[in-house]
Amino acid sequence: MTADPTMGEPTAESKLEIRDLDVYYGAFRAVRDVTMSVRARSVTAIIGPSGCGKSTFLRALNRLHELTPGARVEGSVLLDGADIYDPAVDPVRLRRYVGMVFQRPNPFPTMSIYENVVAGIRLAGRASRNELDEIVERSLTRAALWNEVKDKLNEPGTSLSGGQQQRLCIARAIAVDPEVVLMDEPASALDPVATLRIEELIAELRANYTIVIVTHNMQQAGRVSDETAFFTMNEDRAGYLVEFGPTREIFTNPRERLTEDYVSGRFG
């Protein structure tokens, strides 16, 4: 399937290296034999048709898929060269460094905007009020939400609009200072204007974080990402990686026929 033997080769600046990764739910193999590498401080998009294991693959990068009973992986995922599936790894500590933003905005309904941003810090550690204030301002500023909410930090997070809620969730995710932020179709529940703001935000976050984003919107992948991985599935419904490379090449000059058919809208 791989046309270029150098595809997915680790480079000096790679943050995540995924090697021969299979993800199973019980006997069902959802993701098959994925090898690719994610560069530090870049945006990597995962595209592909529905049900091809994109989300499952993403969740395997911070071991969140383990919440599903019967889920397991084969192969390895290296974060800065260390295998996150090594038995010595504490998945809870891993998730401090590899955070996640979900499809539907999910601020904690019992918490204010302020409490939402610092939820990860408060629930997992301790910090002084001053530190928290700083973190709130910094995180909300980075999430391009500070100006809109600075005067109502004590209002519930759920009082915001959908797009603001999603930016609040991004602020919450980056408040614990992760290195990698995984995003699972972060704009698919939002209107076009809110989507645009999220995309601008992703472009800015790229300076500080390594971002992996799953999207079913190919234009979005084209707009926000540096590199793109195209996944699809066979009759056995196991998703696999067809092609991985610089986004421009995936969209303008793909090596694989399947990729070309997908990005040109012939299937999917």
Interacting residues with another protein (CB under 8 A): 62, 64, 67, 92-97, 99-100, 102, 104, 106, 108-110, 119-120, 123-124, 156, 158, 169, 172-173, 176
Residue 59 to residue 182: CA distance in whole angstroms: 8
**Shortest CB 39 distance to another protein, Å:** 22
**Considering beta carbons, is residue 110 or 253 the nearer one to another protein?**
110
- Strands (E) in the chain, as ranges, are 14-25, 28-39, 43-47, 71-79, 82-83, 98-101, 180-184, 210-214, 227-233, 239-246
**Shortest CB 124 distance to another protein, Å:** 5
**Considering beta carbons, is residue 139 or 225 the nearer one to another protein?**
139
**Considering beta carbons, is residue 177 or 226 the nearer one to another protein?**
177
**Shortest CB 156 distance to another protein, Å:** 5
**Considering beta carbons, is residue 82 or 124 the nearer one to another protein?**
124
Query: Which amino acid does the sequence have at 168?
Result: L
**Shortest CB 112 distance to another protein, Å:** 10
The DSSP call for residue 91 is: H
**Shortest CB 85 distance to another protein, Å:** 17
Assess contact for 202 and 224: CB atoms under 8 A: yes
Radius of gyration of the chain from Cα atoms? 18
**Considering beta carbons, is residue 99 or 245 the nearer one to another protein?**
99
Strand 82-83 and strand 239-246: pairing?
unpaired
